[in-house]
Amino acid sequence: MTVVVDASAALAWLVPSQATAASEAFRAAAASEMLLAPDAFRMEMRHALIKLELRGLVGAVALDADLPALETLLSIAPQPVPAELAGVIALARSEQLGVYDALYLHLAMARGATLASRDSVLLDAATRRGVGVRDLR
């Protein structure tokens, strides 16, 4: 099964304070899944981790070692072409999502994948769109 992993799900693997029982169970089962993320995942994760590092909530190892190790487990989908990007923007507007969240949902819809997230707004949008979800809250 293909599972699109959003940044909130990945942060739960790298930042102990973000972990939940559901995220830990998903992490344990992840080896048997095909994990997928959009290209923007790389920058979104680096943005989140450097903010946490600058606030003293994680060490440099989260960004310098843990994230690269996690990325080896993921397939990264290429950036959407302009025609696809218009669909992402339309999806963001119709579901009242940020562009990053719409990218995850769009990718899950396009690939017929399940979406793993801790973001309740994104999970609700996925459910409305008929996308299977892994609720990691």
Q: What is the pLDDT along the chain (137 residues), one digit of tens a residue?
A: 999 999 999 999 999 999 999 999 999 998 899 999 999 999 999 999 999 999 999 999 999 999 999 999 999 999 889 889 999 999 999 999 999 999 999 999 999 999 999 999 999 999 999 999 999 99
Instruction: Set out the domains of the chain in order of their start, with CATH numbers.
Output: 2-135 (3.40.50.1010)
The pLDDT of residue 31 = 86
Residue given tokens 């290209």 in the structure block: 39
